[in-house]
Amino acid sequence: MAVIETKGLTKHYGTGRFPPRHRHETVRALHELTVSVEEGEIFGFLGPNGAGKTTMIRLLLGLIHPTSGSARVLGHDIVDGSIAIRAATGYLPGGIVLYDTLTGEQMLDYLGRLYGRPTSLRADVADRLEMSARTLKRPVRDYSRGMRQKIGIIQALQHDPDLAILDEPTEGLDPLMQRAFYDLLDERRKAGRTCFFSSHVLSEVERLCDRVAIIRAGEMVALSNVPELLARRKRHVEMRLAGEPPALHGVTGVTNIVVRPGHLSCELEGDVRPFLAAIYSAAITDLTIEPARLEEAFLEYYADEDAAELAAAAHLVGAAQ
Amino acid sequence: MSATVFRHVLRQQRMRLLVVVAALTGWGTLMPIVYATFGVQMQDIVRQFPALQQFMRFGGGDLFTLSGSIAVGYIHPIAIALLAVFAIAFPLSGVAGERQRGTLEIVLARPVSRRSYYVTLLVAAILFIGLSVAATLIGTVIAAAAVNVLDQLKLENMTLLWLNGVLLYFAIAAIAFAASVSFDRMGPAAGVALAIVLVAYTLEIIGSLWPDAEWLQPYSLFHYLQPDLVLREGLQLFDTALLLVVGGAAVIYALIVFPRRDLAAPT
């Protein structure tokens, strides 16, 4: 069952202004996004700042209204059923702001009561994130950035939501707490809960997510599961040689072969078996095959100049309309 | 209406409410004391200077009668500033302020509709205004009894004066809320709300002090709170209806506009 399903979801800012602005000021934040997130999935939404990640999240929660297209979350339309969506969703906004005059506990009580559901997971999540009862009794104004982020995570998960929508969830967390948070998400996945989160920390997306969508200037440029995305990546190979280099020209998946005395480097893509067969009898003293990283896959969509120009051009809709 | 949001607002505002209620109770005690202490003595002096007589009509009041003194107290900038805490500042901070701080989105990401959130704040504002206006009148009654002028007051009309006062500040609060739901930041919302209130106040004061400008007064919301007249003759139906219509129109505007607005990420 699809927990999130969007069809041609589009959001332009700057339309319907009074007085009307110049047409070039219409910003295309999201353009015809069609994506489906399945139950029990951890779905990563990737993109640099301003790509449209937060716009997507706010559309799903009914905080902003789509210009065109449609979306359903947990079976409810985002325009007509946003209350029902929010009742079953936990949300962590990026750079969460809390009421400074309240204690952490009061803050969690208030936000929990607004759901009208028992906060059955609060104690467990707080414990995992090392937010003791004593700490929760301190005013939020005394909290560090990391502690505020922990409160943000607890408030998003404390009522055991069917869907957690998390915007940059590990921002401000130290590595230990990041790991605790990853474990939490893993457990939620095992419990069949769905998580949709945006991030630009590619290592955590790679570690956590079942599938990722990469968004650029409001348009989705890739949607794939992580292993597939990585499998398509070229791995960099370095080898030290005690004799003649192996004959790699023409071997399937091997490109960019550079041979220097006692050394060979190349790029390897796809199935590794032809490559291994080709180097089997070579006198190799050392071999390094760098694992494919999501970062490289991500950068590919942003690195080339054409893409950058496209992104800049697509940012402003005006001329085309 | 959300009971949880309402309780949260009460908790957040309780200290402010106590301070304003205490200050307005104190302010309310001043009018009968000023009237009883200086009113009669000043009357003889003022009669010698006709120009001063018009000045004594400040805001439609009259320092030489108890009801007129109370009217001056009602339209005095100090009373208005104190009541503005809940009629202007609270509506502005409740929506535009929360929006600007970023706290509005964590509430509206819960199953709380924007209409419900707005109505909750409006009810809270009316409650705070009602208590504040009541505090002023209670102070006045206590002081009038203390200086032995209570017999000059029609106590049954005090309730009507309370109602008239609440309606005026309800209308102002509704306008402030309408501005608040229309903007993402406090500055523009405060600018619009304060401009409307200051212009209205200026029109009323100029009209009350300068006979040639009396025609300006009907364009001011403050003109439709006439404590002197209400205390003497009872509630003025037209004034009541007009304040209700203005407040109601602002409420309807907010109920339509707020749910339709985009709440983009706070900057």
Asked if B263 and A99 come within 8 Å (Cβ–Cβ), the reply is no
Considering only CA atoms, which of A31, A164, A25, A1 is closest in space to residue A93? A164
More confident position, B93 or A298: B93
Q: Tell which residue, B89, B82, B64, has the closest CA to residue B28.
A: B82
Cα separation, A143 vs A54, in Å, equals 25
Is B110 within 8 Å of A86 when comparing Cβ atoms?
yes
Segment A158-173, tens digit of pLDDT: 999 999 999 888 888 8
Average pLDDT of the residues in A271-281 = 89
More confident call, A24 vs A256: A256
What band does A294 get if pLDDT is binned at 50, 70 and 90? low
| CA-atom Rg of chain B in angstroms | 20
Give A238's contacts (C-beta < 8 A, 6+ positions apart).
A263, A264, A265, A286, A287, A288, A290
Q: What is the pLDDT of residue B122?
A: 97
Confidence band (pLDDT; 50, 70, 90) for B51? low
Task: Give mean pLDDT, residues B189-214.
Answer: 88
Residue pair B188/B104 in contact by the 8 Å Cβ criterion: no
Are A99 and B2 in contact (CB < 8 Å)?
Answer: no
Tens digit of pLDDT for each residue in A118-153?
888 999 999 999 999 999 999 999 999 999 999 999
Q: Are A315 and A26 in contact (CB under 8 A)?
A: no
User: Looking at the complex, does the CB of residue B14 fall below 8 Å from at least one CB of chain A?
Assistant: no
Residue A207 has pLDDT above 90, yes or no: no
- Tell me the ipTM for this assembly: 0.82
Amino acid at position B181, single letter: V
β-partners of residue A194 are A163
Q: What pLDDT is recorded for position B83? A: 93
- Asked whether B21 and B131 are in contact (CB, 8 A), the reply is yes
Name the DSSP class of B37: I
The sign one gets for the Cα dihedral B251, B177, B200, B221 is: positive
Determine whether the interchain pair B109/A63 forms a contact, defined as Cβ–Cβ distance below 8 Å: yes
Distance CA B222, CA A7 (A): 53
% pLDDT > 90, chain B: 55
The minimal CB distance from B108 to the residues A13, A63, A99 is found for: A63
- The C-alpha atoms of residue A162 and residue A39 are separated, in whole angstroms, by 9
Tell me the pLDDT tens digit for each residue of A27-50: 888 888 899 999 989 999 888 778
List chain B residues with CB under 8 Å of A98.
Answer: 103, 106
Q: Which of A17, A56, A113, A141 would best serve as a mutation to test chain B binding (most B beta carbons within 10 A)?
A: A113
pLDDT at A47: 81
The lowest-confidence range among A212-226, A273-287, B17-31 is A212-226
Chain B contact for A111 (CB, 8 A cutoff): yes
- The pLDDT score that the predictor gives to residue A317 is 40
Selecting from A63, A91, A95 the residue whose C-beta is nearest the C-beta of B263 gives A63
- Is A256 in a helix, a strand, or coil? strand
Is A150 near chain B, with CB under 8 Å?
no
Average pLDDT over residues B213-219: 87
Q: How confident is the model at residue A320 (pLDDT cuts 50, 70, 90)?
A: very low
The residue among A205 and B163 whose pLDDT is bigger is: B163
Residue A54 in contact with partner chain B when CB distance is under 8 A: yes
Say if A97 is an interface residue toward chain B (CB within 8 Å): yes
pLDDT value at B121 more than 60: yes
Give the pLDDT score at A240: 93
Chain A contact probe: residue of B15, B103, B110 with most A CBs at under 10 A: B110
More confident site: A84 or B39: A84
Contact B40, B157 (CB under 8 A): no
- Binary contact (B262, A99; C-beta < 8 A): no
Residue A198: closest CA among A213, A181, A179, A218:
A213
- Whether A220 shows a pLDDT value over 90: the answer reads no
What residue type is assigned to position A11 of the chain? K
* Partners of residue A101 in chain B, C-beta under 8 Å: 12
Higher-confidence position of B267 and A140: A140
Please tell me the predicted confidence (pLDDT) of residue B194: 94
Please give the pLDDT value at position B120: 96
| Model pLDDT, residue A318 | 40
pTM of the model: 0.83
Mean pLDDT across A90-119: 90
Q: Are A97 and B266 an interchain contact pair (Cβ–Cβ within 8 Å)?
A: yes
Say if CB A227 and CB A244 are below 8 A apart.
Answer: no
B101 close contact with A: CB closer than 8 A: yes
Query: Is A291:A203 a contact under the CB 8 Å cutoff?
Result: no
The counts of H helices and E strands in chain A are 12, 14
Buried b / exposed e over B3-28, threshold 16 CB at 10 Å, is ebbbebbeebbeeebeebbebbbebb
Q: Is B154 on the interface with A (CB under 8 A)?
A: no
The whole-angstrom distance between B258's CA and the closest CA on chain A is 11
> Helix crossing, B3-34 with B66-75: angle to 10°?
130
Q: Tokens 């304040």 label which residue? A: B243
Predicted confidence at residue B217, as pLDDT, reads 86
What average pLDDT does the structure give for chain A? 84
Neighbours of B142 (CB within 10 A): 14
| B113 in contact with chain A, both atoms CB, cutoff 8 A | yes
Most B CBs within 10 A among A13, A99, A148, A196, hence the mutation to make, goes to A99
The pLDDT tens digits for B167-194 are 999 999 999 999 999 998 899 999 999 9
